[in-house]
Amino acid sequence: VLNILFLPISITVRHPRRFGDESERFLSDVLLPNLVWHAGRTAAAVRTSALSCLLALLHGGAITAGQVGEKLSPLVLSALEEDSQTSRLLACRSLSATLQLIGTSLHHEALNRIYPELLKRLDDSSEEVRSVALQAVGLWLSSLTSDYNPELFAPHLQLLFQQLLLHLDDPDSAVQDQVLEVLKKGSSVHPSLLQREAEAVRDKQRSPLRCDLLLQHISSPSTETDASNTQNTSRLKVVP
């Protein structure tokens, strides 16, 4: 019933502002307590329902950017480790929706807490969870603004690129294609680092085809221009 209520809020609620006034109470009194991990099948089922409601809130526009903050993010990240495939899938989708909503306004420390948990799900037993996790990684990369200094956070980007390059050699060609598109997004963040990492693994992969496509993309003039503009903007913001 709650899921139906929260799907597009403009359709289901005649006065969305009135619900907006109550959404904070709903989050703190209903959703947050039920997202906290407790042992037992019943508690797990409740967490799954709470994740479903959260996703409906995010998609329906019944929750503001300010409400998707420090309290919710750790709980959603922990849900990525749930035994239930449905819960893991809902958690990945909720993170994707969160990144779409407030990704570019998140502090770099908050962003750096998200990607390692998403990387773990690239080895998930569910192909659907893997696919949605990859989508979320792509949104994470799209959330990096000029305030995210690629040189300062190079160790984070290196780990991300290394893990993605492993999956670029996945036995499933569909996964390879999806990873390639995500890595192309990463090429605008730190192209030289990604190029070094790709060249280091090229000859170790079953087929170098997609690695070569990635390297061609990195070397394209448009990628180099985008990266240069991002770095120049970052330098300008440092000057008082």
CB 77 within 8 A of CB 25: no
Predicted confidence (pLDDT) per residue in 14-59, tens digit? 444 555 567 778 888 888 899 999 999 999 999 999 999 999 888 8
Domain-terminating residue out of 118, 143, 168: 143
Alpha carbon distance 191, 187 (integer Å): 4
One domain for residues 13 and 132: yes
The answer for residues whose C-beta is within 8 angstroms of residue 40's C-beta and 6 or more apart is: none
Residue 220: how many CB atoms within 10 A of its CB?
Answer: 14
Secondary structure element (H or E) that encloses residue 108, with its range: helix 108-120
- Tell me if 118 sits within 8 A of 136, measured CB to CB: yes
Average pLDDT in the 205-216 region?
96
pLDDT reading at 70 higher than 70? no
How many residues does the structure list for the chain? Answer: 240
Look up the CATH number of the domain holding residue 19: 1.25.10.10
Same domain, 137 and 149: no
What mean pLDDT do residues 207-224 have?
89
Q: Is the pLDDT of residue 153 over 50?
A: yes
Q: Specify whether the CB–CB gap between 62 and 101 falls below 8 A.
A: no
Tokens encoding 155: 């160790």
d(CA 97, CA 51): 12
Whether 22 and 98 map to the same domain: the answer is yes
Same domain? For 113 and 215 the reply is no
pLDDT at position 14, please?
47
Does residue 109 share a domain with residue 199?
Answer: no
- Both 97 and 204 in a single domain? no
Residue 145 has pLDDT above 70, yes or no: yes
Q: What percent of the chain has pLDDT over 70?
A: 81
**Quick one: tokens of 64?**
């503001």
What average pLDDT does the segment 69-91 reach? 91
Query: Which pLDDT band holds residue 240 (cuts at 50, 70, 90)?
Result: very low
Q: How confident is the model at residue 5 (pLDDT cuts 50, 70, 90)?
A: very low
Sorting pLDDT into bands at 50, 70 and 90, what band is 137? Answer: very high
Neighbouring CB atoms inside 10 A of 143's CB total 20
Residues 152 and 131 both lie in one domain: no
Based on the fold, state whether residues 78 and 14 are members of the same structural domain. Answer: yes
Residues 170 and 54 in one domain: no
Q: What is the pLDDT of residue 186?
A: 96
Q: How many domains does the chain have?
A: 2
Determine contact, residues 164/186, Cβ cutoff 8 Å. yes
CA distances from 116 to 161, 170, 179 (A): 12, 19, 16
> Residue 6, class by beta-carbon neighbours within 10 Å (0-12 exposed, 13-18 middle, 19+ buried)?
buried
Indicate the residue among 143, 176, 202 that finishes a domain: 143
Rounded distance between C-alpha atoms, residue 36 and residue 78, angstroms: 9
Residue 215 near residue 198, CB atoms below 8 Å: yes
Place of tokens 């290196």: 158
Alpha-carbon gap, residue 180 to 219, rounded angstroms: 15
Q: Are residues 112 and 215 in the same domain?
A: no
Confidence (pLDDT) at 24: 76
Spatial contact of 150 and 231, defined as CB atoms under 8 Å apart: yes
pTM equals: 0.85
Average model confidence (pLDDT) across the chain: 86
Return the pLDDT at 29.
Answer: 86
Where in the sequence is the domain holding 161, given as residue range(s)? 145-240
| In a shared domain, residues 31 and 150 | no
Q: Are residues 135 and 161 in the same domain?
A: no
Final residue of a domain: which of 143, 164, 191? 143
Our CA angle for 135, 89, 176, nearest 5°, is 40
